Amino acid sequence: MLDIKFVRENPEAVRQNIRNKFQEKKLPLVDEVIALDAENRAVMQEADQLRGNRNKLSKQIGGLMAKGQKEEAEAVKKQVSEQSARLAELEQKETELAEKIRTIMMTIPNIIDPSVPIGKDDSENVEIERFGEPVVPDFEIPYHTEIMESFNGIDLDSARRVAGNGFYYLMGDIARLHSAVISYARDFMINRGFTYVVPPFMIRSDVVTGVMSFAEMDAMMYKIEGEDLYLIGTSEHSMIGKFIDQIVPEEELPYTLTSYSPCFRKEKGAHGLEERGVYRIHQFEKQEMIVVCRPEDSKIWYDKLWQNTVDLFRSLDIPVRTLECCSGDLADLKVKSCDVEAWSPRQKKYFEVGSCSNLGDAQARRLKIRVQGDGKKYLAHTLNNTVVAPPRMLIAFLENNLQADGTVKIPAALRPYMGGTEILVPKK
Protein backbone atom coordinates (compact mmCIF):
# COMPACT_ATOMS: atom_id res chain seq x y z
CA MET A 1 0.00 0.00 0.00
CA LEU A 2 1.31 3.43 -0.96
CA ASP A 3 1.55 6.47 1.27
CA ILE A 4 -1.37 8.82 0.52
CA LYS A 5 1.09 11.73 0.63
CA PHE A 6 3.08 10.08 -2.19
CA VAL A 7 -0.09 9.69 -4.28
CA ARG A 8 -1.07 13.30 -3.61
CA GLU A 9 2.36 14.62 -4.65
CA ASN A 10 3.07 12.16 -7.50
CA PRO A 11 -0.27 11.37 -9.18
CA GLU A 12 1.18 10.89 -12.68
CA ALA A 13 3.83 8.44 -11.42
CA VAL A 14 1.06 6.43 -9.75
CA ARG A 15 -1.02 6.49 -12.95
CA GLN A 16 1.94 5.36 -15.07
CA ASN A 17 2.63 2.53 -12.65
CA ILE A 18 -1.00 1.40 -13.06
CA ARG A 19 -0.58 1.51 -16.84
CA ASN A 20 2.65 -0.47 -16.58
CA LYS A 21 0.70 -3.18 -14.75
CA PHE A 22 -2.04 -3.13 -17.40
CA GLN A 23 -4.72 -2.22 -14.84
CA GLU A 24 -6.18 0.79 -16.66
CA LYS A 25 -9.55 0.30 -14.99
CA LYS A 26 -7.92 1.50 -11.77
CA LEU A 27 -6.82 4.87 -13.23
CA PRO A 28 -9.94 6.76 -12.00
CA LEU A 29 -9.10 5.67 -8.44
CA VAL A 30 -6.14 8.08 -8.37
CA ASP A 31 -8.28 11.21 -8.81
CA GLU A 32 -10.96 9.75 -6.56
CA VAL A 33 -8.62 9.11 -3.65
CA ILE A 34 -6.91 12.50 -4.04
CA ALA A 35 -10.33 14.22 -3.85
CA LEU A 36 -11.32 12.15 -0.81
CA ASP A 37 -8.00 12.97 0.84
CA ALA A 38 -8.52 16.71 0.27
CA GLU A 39 -12.01 16.48 1.74
CA ASN A 40 -10.74 14.49 4.69
CA ARG A 41 -7.97 16.99 5.45
CA ALA A 42 -10.51 19.85 5.33
CA VAL A 43 -12.77 17.96 7.74
CA MET A 44 -9.86 17.26 10.07
CA GLN A 45 -8.82 20.91 10.01
CA GLU A 46 -12.32 22.12 10.90
CA ALA A 47 -12.58 19.49 13.64
CA ASP A 48 -9.24 20.59 15.12
CA GLN A 49 -10.39 24.22 15.12
CA LEU A 50 -13.62 23.27 16.90
CA ARG A 51 -11.74 21.28 19.52
CA GLY A 52 -9.43 24.21 20.19
CA ASN A 53 -12.35 26.65 20.35
CA ARG A 54 -14.28 24.33 22.66
CA ASN A 55 -11.41 24.32 25.12
CA LYS A 56 -11.28 28.12 25.11
CA LEU A 57 -15.05 28.39 25.62
CA SER A 58 -14.95 25.87 28.47
CA LYS A 59 -12.40 28.03 30.30
CA GLN A 60 -14.53 31.11 29.58
CA ILE A 61 -17.57 29.44 31.18
CA GLY A 62 -15.59 28.79 34.34
CA GLY A 63 -14.53 32.44 34.52
CA LEU A 64 -18.07 33.75 34.01
CA MET A 65 -19.51 31.44 36.64
CA ALA A 66 -16.83 32.54 39.09
CA LYS A 67 -17.92 36.17 38.51
CA GLY A 68 -21.58 35.25 38.97
CA GLN A 69 -22.43 36.01 35.34
CA LYS A 70 -24.73 33.02 35.00
CA GLU A 71 -26.71 34.29 32.03
CA GLU A 72 -23.58 34.95 29.97
CA ALA A 73 -22.20 31.54 30.98
CA GLU A 74 -25.38 29.82 29.75
CA ALA A 75 -25.04 31.56 26.37
CA VAL A 76 -21.48 30.28 26.03
CA LYS A 77 -22.64 26.79 27.08
CA LYS A 78 -25.13 26.88 24.22
CA GLN A 79 -22.28 27.68 21.83
CA VAL A 80 -20.28 24.76 23.19
CA SER A 81 -23.26 22.43 22.74
CA GLU A 82 -23.78 23.52 19.13
CA GLN A 83 -20.12 23.13 18.34
CA SER A 84 -20.02 19.70 20.03
CA ALA A 85 -22.84 18.53 17.77
CA ARG A 86 -20.95 19.76 14.72
CA LEU A 87 -17.76 18.13 15.99
CA ALA A 88 -19.55 14.79 16.34
CA GLU A 89 -20.70 15.10 12.71
CA LEU A 90 -17.16 15.87 11.58
CA GLU A 91 -15.66 12.96 13.53
CA GLN A 92 -18.18 10.60 11.96
CA LYS A 93 -17.33 12.03 8.55
CA GLU A 94 -13.62 11.61 9.31
CA THR A 95 -14.12 7.91 10.06
CA GLU A 96 -16.13 7.35 6.88
CA LEU A 97 -13.64 9.19 4.67
CA ALA A 98 -10.65 7.41 6.22
CA GLU A 99 -12.25 4.03 5.50
CA LYS A 100 -13.01 4.99 1.88
CA ILE A 101 -9.44 6.21 1.41
CA ARG A 102 -7.99 3.04 2.96
CA THR A 103 -10.13 0.79 0.75
CA ILE A 104 -8.97 2.56 -2.41
CA MET A 105 -5.35 2.72 -1.28
CA MET A 106 -5.40 -1.04 -0.72
CA THR A 107 -6.46 -1.44 -4.36
CA ILE A 108 -3.92 0.87 -6.00
CA PRO A 109 -0.82 -1.23 -6.82
CA ASN A 110 2.57 -0.66 -5.23
CA ILE A 111 5.23 1.13 -7.28
CA ILE A 112 7.30 -1.50 -9.08
CA ASP A 113 11.09 -1.42 -9.21
CA PRO A 114 12.52 0.29 -12.33
CA SER A 115 14.31 -2.96 -13.24
CA VAL A 116 11.03 -4.89 -13.65
CA PRO A 117 10.33 -5.71 -17.34
CA ILE A 118 7.01 -4.38 -18.67
CA GLY A 119 4.68 -7.16 -19.80
CA LYS A 120 1.04 -8.19 -19.59
CA ASP A 121 1.29 -11.65 -18.00
CA ASP A 122 3.61 -14.52 -17.11
CA SER A 123 4.15 -15.33 -20.79
CA GLU A 124 6.31 -12.18 -20.92
CA ASN A 125 8.50 -13.04 -17.90
CA VAL A 126 12.21 -12.87 -18.71
CA GLU A 127 14.75 -15.63 -18.11
CA ILE A 128 17.69 -14.42 -16.02
CA GLU A 129 20.04 -17.37 -15.53
CA ARG A 130 20.25 -21.18 -15.69
CA PHE A 131 21.95 -23.36 -13.10
CA GLY A 132 22.89 -26.95 -13.97
CA GLU A 133 22.64 -28.72 -17.30
CA PRO A 134 19.12 -29.83 -18.33
CA VAL A 135 19.17 -33.49 -19.32
CA VAL A 136 16.66 -35.47 -21.36
CA PRO A 137 17.39 -39.19 -20.77
CA ASP A 138 17.19 -41.79 -23.53
CA PHE A 139 14.23 -43.47 -21.81
CA GLU A 140 10.67 -42.30 -21.33
CA ILE A 141 9.86 -40.41 -18.13
CA PRO A 142 6.36 -41.39 -16.90
CA TYR A 143 3.87 -38.87 -15.52
CA HIS A 144 4.76 -38.10 -11.89
CA THR A 145 1.77 -39.92 -10.38
CA GLU A 146 2.75 -43.05 -12.36
CA ILE A 147 6.24 -42.90 -10.86
CA MET A 148 4.72 -42.55 -7.38
CA GLU A 149 2.28 -45.41 -8.03
CA SER A 150 5.19 -47.69 -8.95
CA PHE A 151 6.33 -47.29 -5.32
CA ASN A 152 2.77 -47.69 -3.97
CA GLY A 153 3.36 -44.10 -2.87
CA ILE A 154 0.14 -42.26 -3.74
CA ASP A 155 -3.60 -42.82 -3.51
CA LEU A 156 -5.66 -40.16 -5.29
CA ASP A 157 -8.90 -42.18 -5.49
CA SER A 158 -9.22 -42.54 -1.71
CA ALA A 159 -8.39 -38.86 -1.28
CA ARG A 160 -11.22 -37.91 -3.68
CA ARG A 161 -13.67 -40.01 -1.68
CA VAL A 162 -12.51 -38.43 1.58
CA ALA A 163 -12.00 -34.78 0.58
CA GLY A 164 -12.68 -34.36 -3.16
CA ASN A 165 -10.37 -33.40 -6.01
CA GLY A 166 -7.13 -31.61 -5.21
CA PHE A 167 -6.07 -33.86 -2.32
CA TYR A 168 -3.87 -36.95 -2.02
CA TYR A 169 -2.54 -39.65 0.27
CA LEU A 170 1.24 -40.07 0.16
CA MET A 171 2.53 -43.41 1.45
CA GLY A 172 5.64 -45.47 2.02
CA ASP A 173 8.88 -44.33 0.40
CA ILE A 174 7.20 -41.37 -1.31
CA ALA A 175 5.78 -40.10 1.98
CA ARG A 176 9.18 -40.56 3.60
CA LEU A 177 10.83 -38.71 0.71
CA HIS A 178 8.32 -35.87 1.19
CA SER A 179 9.23 -35.56 4.88
CA ALA A 180 12.95 -35.89 4.12
CA VAL A 181 12.85 -32.97 1.68
CA ILE A 182 11.08 -30.76 4.25
CA SER A 183 13.57 -31.71 6.99
CA TYR A 184 16.53 -31.17 4.70
CA ALA A 185 15.20 -27.75 3.64
CA ARG A 186 14.71 -26.79 7.29
CA ASP A 187 18.29 -27.66 8.20
CA PHE A 188 19.63 -26.11 4.99
CA MET A 189 18.14 -22.74 6.02
CA ILE A 190 19.17 -23.08 9.67
CA ASN A 191 22.73 -23.63 8.46
CA ARG A 192 22.44 -20.36 6.54
CA GLY A 193 21.64 -18.47 9.73
CA PHE A 194 17.84 -18.44 9.61
CA THR A 195 15.75 -19.03 12.75
CA TYR A 196 13.35 -21.97 12.46
CA VAL A 197 9.71 -21.21 13.27
CA VAL A 198 6.45 -23.16 13.31
CA PRO A 199 3.75 -20.45 13.08
CA PRO A 200 -0.05 -20.44 13.53
CA PHE A 201 -1.83 -22.05 10.60
CA MET A 202 -4.83 -19.70 10.91
CA ILE A 203 -4.83 -15.90 10.91
CA ARG A 204 -7.33 -13.10 11.51
CA SER A 205 -8.78 -10.94 8.75
CA ASP A 206 -6.70 -7.87 9.65
CA VAL A 207 -3.55 -9.92 9.03
CA VAL A 208 -4.94 -11.32 5.76
CA THR A 209 -5.67 -7.84 4.38
CA GLY A 210 -2.27 -6.71 5.65
CA VAL A 211 -0.23 -9.27 3.73
CA MET A 212 -2.05 -9.64 0.42
CA SER A 213 -4.29 -7.91 -2.12
CA PHE A 214 -8.07 -8.36 -2.23
CA ALA A 215 -7.75 -10.28 -5.53
CA GLU A 216 -5.26 -12.74 -4.02
CA MET A 217 -7.42 -13.12 -0.92
CA ASP A 218 -10.50 -14.03 -2.96
CA ALA A 219 -8.59 -16.47 -5.17
CA MET A 220 -6.67 -18.22 -2.40
CA MET A 221 -8.04 -18.08 1.13
CA TYR A 222 -10.38 -20.49 2.91
CA LYS A 223 -12.41 -18.78 5.65
CA ILE A 224 -13.43 -20.55 8.86
CA GLU A 225 -17.21 -20.23 9.03
CA GLY A 226 -18.51 -18.21 11.97
CA GLU A 227 -15.05 -17.03 13.08
CA ASP A 228 -12.67 -14.25 12.17
CA LEU A 229 -10.08 -16.78 11.02
CA TYR A 230 -8.62 -17.88 7.68
CA LEU A 231 -6.48 -20.92 6.84
CA ILE A 232 -3.08 -19.71 5.63
CA GLY A 233 -2.15 -20.10 1.97
CA THR A 234 1.53 -19.87 2.92
CA SER A 235 3.38 -19.36 6.20
CA GLU A 236 4.55 -15.96 4.94
CA HIS A 237 1.11 -14.71 5.99
CA SER A 238 1.38 -15.58 9.67
CA MET A 239 5.13 -14.90 9.76
CA ILE A 240 4.79 -11.28 8.57
CA GLY A 241 1.67 -10.98 10.74
CA LYS A 242 3.89 -11.82 13.74
CA PHE A 243 5.11 -8.20 13.64
CA ILE A 244 1.71 -6.47 13.35
CA ASP A 245 1.55 -3.17 15.31
CA GLN A 246 5.14 -3.64 16.49
CA ILE A 247 7.95 -1.11 16.81
CA VAL A 248 11.16 -3.12 16.43
CA PRO A 249 14.61 -1.84 17.47
CA GLU A 250 16.79 -1.11 14.45
CA GLU A 251 19.74 -2.95 15.98
CA GLU A 252 17.76 -6.23 15.95
CA LEU A 253 17.33 -6.16 12.16
CA PRO A 254 17.36 -8.07 9.96
CA TYR A 255 14.99 -10.78 11.17
CA THR A 256 15.78 -13.86 9.07
CA LEU A 257 13.24 -16.61 9.63
CA THR A 258 12.45 -19.95 8.00
CA SER A 259 9.04 -21.43 8.68
CA TYR A 260 7.29 -24.74 8.14
CA SER A 261 3.53 -25.01 7.64
CA PRO A 262 0.77 -26.78 5.80
CA CYS A 263 -0.78 -24.47 3.18
CA PHE A 264 -4.40 -24.32 2.04
CA ARG A 265 -5.49 -22.81 -1.28
CA LYS A 266 -8.71 -22.70 -3.28
CA GLU A 267 -6.83 -22.94 -6.63
CA LYS A 268 -9.86 -21.81 -8.64
CA GLY A 269 -10.29 -22.67 -12.30
CA ALA A 270 -9.51 -25.56 -14.60
CA HIS A 271 -5.92 -26.61 -15.24
CA GLY A 272 -4.08 -28.54 -17.95
CA LEU A 273 -2.93 -32.15 -17.87
CA GLU A 274 0.52 -31.36 -16.52
CA GLU A 275 -1.03 -29.50 -13.57
CA ARG A 276 -3.02 -32.51 -12.36
CA GLY A 277 -1.74 -35.09 -9.91
CA VAL A 278 0.04 -33.21 -7.11
CA TYR A 279 1.08 -30.12 -9.08
CA ARG A 280 -1.86 -27.85 -8.21
CA ILE A 281 -3.67 -28.92 -5.05
CA HIS A 282 -5.70 -27.54 -2.15
CA GLN A 283 -3.40 -28.69 0.64
CA PHE A 284 0.37 -29.05 0.74
CA GLU A 285 3.36 -28.42 3.00
CA LYS A 286 6.07 -25.86 2.51
CA GLN A 287 9.28 -24.49 3.95
CA GLU A 288 9.42 -20.71 3.57
CA MET A 289 11.97 -17.98 4.22
CA ILE A 290 11.05 -14.48 5.43
CA VAL A 291 13.13 -11.37 6.01
CA VAL A 292 12.21 -8.14 7.81
CA CYS A 293 14.93 -5.55 7.26
CA ARG A 294 15.90 -1.92 6.80
CA PRO A 295 14.79 -0.39 3.45
CA GLU A 296 18.37 0.06 2.26
CA ASP A 297 19.06 -3.67 2.76
CA SER A 298 16.06 -5.18 0.97
CA LYS A 299 17.68 -5.41 -2.49
CA ILE A 300 20.64 -7.30 -1.04
CA TRP A 301 18.35 -9.73 0.79
CA TYR A 302 16.25 -10.25 -2.33
CA ASP A 303 19.28 -11.64 -4.17
CA LYS A 304 20.30 -13.77 -1.18
CA LEU A 305 16.83 -15.31 -0.89
CA TRP A 306 16.42 -16.57 -4.45
CA GLN A 307 20.02 -17.80 -4.41
CA ASN A 308 19.20 -19.96 -1.35
CA THR A 309 16.52 -21.79 -3.33
CA VAL A 310 18.78 -22.25 -6.34
CA ASP A 311 21.54 -23.66 -4.12
CA LEU A 312 19.16 -26.08 -2.40
CA PHE A 313 17.81 -27.50 -5.67
CA ARG A 314 21.30 -27.82 -7.12
CA SER A 315 22.40 -29.73 -4.01
CA LEU A 316 19.77 -32.31 -4.98
CA ASP A 317 20.97 -32.55 -8.61
CA ILE A 318 17.99 -30.64 -10.02
CA PRO A 319 18.71 -28.09 -12.80
CA VAL A 320 16.90 -24.78 -12.30
CA ARG A 321 16.54 -21.35 -13.83
CA THR A 322 15.40 -17.95 -12.55
CA LEU A 323 12.77 -15.82 -14.29
CA GLU A 324 12.21 -12.10 -13.72
CA CYS A 325 8.45 -11.55 -13.29
CA CYS A 326 7.13 -8.85 -15.58
CA SER A 327 4.92 -5.97 -14.41
CA GLY A 328 1.62 -7.63 -15.30
CA ASP A 329 2.56 -10.81 -13.41
CA LEU A 330 3.33 -8.99 -10.15
CA ALA A 331 0.74 -9.04 -7.37
CA ASP A 332 -0.25 -5.53 -6.30
CA LEU A 333 1.91 -5.40 -3.18
CA LYS A 334 5.11 -6.56 -4.86
CA VAL A 335 7.97 -4.27 -5.86
CA LYS A 336 9.95 -7.01 -7.60
CA SER A 337 9.68 -10.78 -7.92
CA CYS A 338 11.38 -13.72 -9.58
CA ASP A 339 10.35 -17.33 -10.02
CA VAL A 340 12.65 -20.29 -9.57
CA GLU A 341 11.78 -23.01 -12.09
CA ALA A 342 12.99 -26.61 -12.06
CA TRP A 343 13.78 -28.68 -15.14
CA SER A 344 11.22 -31.30 -16.16
CA PRO A 345 12.81 -34.06 -18.31
CA ARG A 346 9.31 -35.35 -19.06
CA GLN A 347 7.99 -32.03 -20.42
CA LYS A 348 11.41 -30.94 -21.73
CA LYS A 349 10.88 -27.54 -20.15
CA TYR A 350 11.09 -25.73 -16.81
CA PHE A 351 8.18 -25.32 -14.39
CA GLU A 352 7.69 -23.11 -11.35
CA VAL A 353 8.74 -24.48 -7.96
CA GLY A 354 9.14 -21.26 -5.97
CA SER A 355 8.78 -17.50 -5.98
CA CYS A 356 10.91 -14.79 -4.36
CA SER A 357 9.36 -11.39 -3.66
CA ASN A 358 10.41 -7.98 -2.35
CA LEU A 359 7.33 -6.15 -1.08
CA GLY A 360 9.10 -2.96 -0.01
CA ASP A 361 7.17 -1.27 2.79
CA ALA A 362 3.70 -2.28 1.49
CA GLN A 363 2.98 -4.98 4.07
CA ALA A 364 4.67 -2.96 6.82
CA ARG A 365 2.43 0.06 6.06
CA ARG A 366 -0.73 -2.05 6.20
CA LEU A 367 0.32 -3.90 9.36
CA LYS A 368 2.08 -0.91 11.01
CA ILE A 369 5.45 -2.64 11.31
CA ARG A 370 7.80 0.16 12.29
CA VAL A 371 11.49 0.38 13.11
CA GLN A 372 12.87 2.55 15.89
CA GLY A 373 15.99 4.11 14.43
CA ASP A 374 18.27 6.85 15.68
CA GLY A 375 15.66 9.29 16.91
CA LYS A 376 13.06 8.42 14.27
CA LYS A 377 10.58 5.70 13.33
CA TYR A 378 10.24 4.32 9.81
CA LEU A 379 8.56 1.41 8.02
CA ALA A 380 10.42 -1.89 7.64
CA HIS A 381 10.78 -3.75 4.35
CA THR A 382 9.55 -7.34 4.05
CA LEU A 383 10.61 -10.15 1.71
CA ASN A 384 9.67 -13.80 1.28
CA ASN A 385 10.74 -16.79 -0.77
CA THR A 386 9.88 -20.46 -1.11
CA VAL A 387 12.56 -22.83 0.13
CA VAL A 388 10.66 -25.92 -1.06
CA ALA A 389 7.04 -26.93 -1.57
CA PRO A 390 7.37 -30.74 -1.68
CA PRO A 391 4.50 -31.60 -4.02
CA ARG A 392 6.16 -29.70 -6.88
CA MET A 393 9.62 -30.44 -5.53
CA LEU A 394 8.73 -34.16 -5.56
CA ILE A 395 7.81 -33.93 -9.24
CA ALA A 396 11.14 -32.31 -10.07
CA PHE A 397 13.03 -34.68 -7.77
CA LEU A 398 11.49 -37.88 -9.14
CA GLU A 399 11.82 -36.88 -12.80
CA ASN A 400 15.46 -35.77 -12.47
CA ASN A 401 16.59 -38.72 -10.33
CA LEU A 402 14.65 -41.50 -12.09
CA GLN A 403 16.80 -44.28 -13.60
CA ALA A 404 16.04 -46.40 -16.68
CA ASP A 405 15.15 -49.42 -14.50
CA GLY A 406 12.51 -47.42 -12.57
CA THR A 407 14.64 -46.88 -9.47
CA VAL A 408 15.17 -43.40 -8.04
CA LYS A 409 18.59 -42.37 -6.82
CA ILE A 410 18.88 -40.37 -3.59
CA PRO A 411 21.50 -37.56 -3.77
CA ALA A 412 24.13 -37.65 -1.02
CA ALA A 413 22.76 -34.53 0.71
CA LEU A 414 19.37 -36.18 1.29
CA ARG A 415 20.54 -39.65 2.35
CA PRO A 416 20.87 -38.84 6.09
CA TYR A 417 17.16 -37.90 6.05
CA MET A 418 16.28 -41.20 4.32
CA GLY A 419 18.04 -43.48 6.81
CA GLY A 420 21.08 -43.79 4.57
CA THR A 421 19.06 -45.08 1.60
CA GLU A 422 20.86 -44.55 -1.73
CA ILE A 423 18.29 -46.01 -4.12
CA LEU A 424 14.50 -46.30 -3.98
CA VAL A 425 13.32 -49.53 -5.60
CA PRO A 426 9.79 -49.66 -7.08
CA LYS A 427 7.28 -52.14 -5.64
CA LYS A 428 5.74 -52.89 -9.03
Question: Same domain, yes or no, for 68 and 22?
Answer: yes
User: How many domains does one find in the chain?
Assistant: 2
* 94 & 224 share domain: no
The answer to the question of residue 110 being in a domain is no
What φ, ψ does residue 260 adopt, rounded to 5°?
-105, 140
Q: Is 282 exposed, middle or buried (0-12, 13-18, 19+ CB in 10 A)?
A: middle
Using an 8 Å Cβ cutoff, are 174 and 148 in contact?
yes
Contact 373, 250 (CB under 8 A): yes
Q: Is residue 112 in a domain?
A: no
Burial of 100 by CB count in 10 Å (0-12 exposed, 13-18 middle, 19+ buried)? middle
Range of the domain at 206: 122-424
Cα–Cα distances (Å) from 424 to 43, 278, 408, in that order, read 71, 20, 5
92 with 215, same domain: the answer is no
- 360 and 261, same domain (yes or no): yes
Same domain, residue pair 210 and 98: no
Judge if 54 and 150 occupy the same domain: no
pLDDT in tens, the chain (428 residues): 899 999 999 999 999 999 999 999 999 999 999 999 999 999 999 988 888 777 677 667 666 676 677 677 667 677 777 778 888 889 999 999 999 999 999 999 999 999 999 999 999 999 999 999 999 999 999 999 999 999 999 999 999 999 998 899 999 999 999 999 999 999 999 999 999 999 999 999 999 999 998 778 888 899 999 999 999 999 999 999 999 999 999 999 999 999 999 999 997 654 455 456 888 899 999 999 999 999 999 999 999 999 999 999 999 999 999 999 999 999 999 999 999 999 999 999 999 999 999 999 999 999 999 999 988 999 999 999 999 998 899 999 999 999 999 999 999 999 999 999 999 999 98
Indicate which CATH number applies to the domain containing 89.
1.10.287.40
Q: Is residue 264 part of a domain?
A: yes
Last residue of a domain, one of 44, 79, 105: 105
Asked whether residue 313 is assigned to any structural domain, the reply reads yes
Strand, coil or helix: 291: strand
Same domain, 94 and 147: no
CA 28 to chain centroid: 26
CA–CA separation, 342 and 320 (whole Å): 4
Amino acid letter, 418: M
Return the pLDDT at 276.
Answer: 66
Is residue 113 domain-resident? no
The per-residue DSSP string of 367-401 comes to HT-EEE-SS-EEE-EEEEEEEE-HHHHHHHHHHHH
Does 53 lie in the same domain as 163?
Answer: no
Model pTM score: 0.90
Give residue 270's pLDDT.
Answer: 46
Measured CA to CA, the distance from residue 428 to residue 422 in angstroms comes to 19
Task: Give a yes or no: residue 403 inside a domain.
Answer: yes
Q: Strands (DSSP E) along 210-319, which ranges?
A: 222-223, 230-231, 247-249, 255-264, 283-293
Question: Do both 78 and 171 map to the same domain?
Answer: no
The pLDDT assigned to 335 comes to 97
> Which one-letter DSSP state was computed for residue 223?
E
Compute the distance between CA of residue 163 and CA of residue 165 in angstroms, rounded to an integer.
7
CATH of the domain at 197: 3.30.930.10
Q: What is the pLDDT of residue 74?
A: 66
Q: Do both 341 and 197 map to the same domain?
A: yes
Give whole-number Cα distances, 322 to 129, 231, 341, 358, 359, in Å.
Answer: 6, 29, 6, 15, 18
pLDDT value at residue 73: 65
Q: Are residues 279 and 396 in the same domain?
A: yes
96 and 143 together in one domain: no
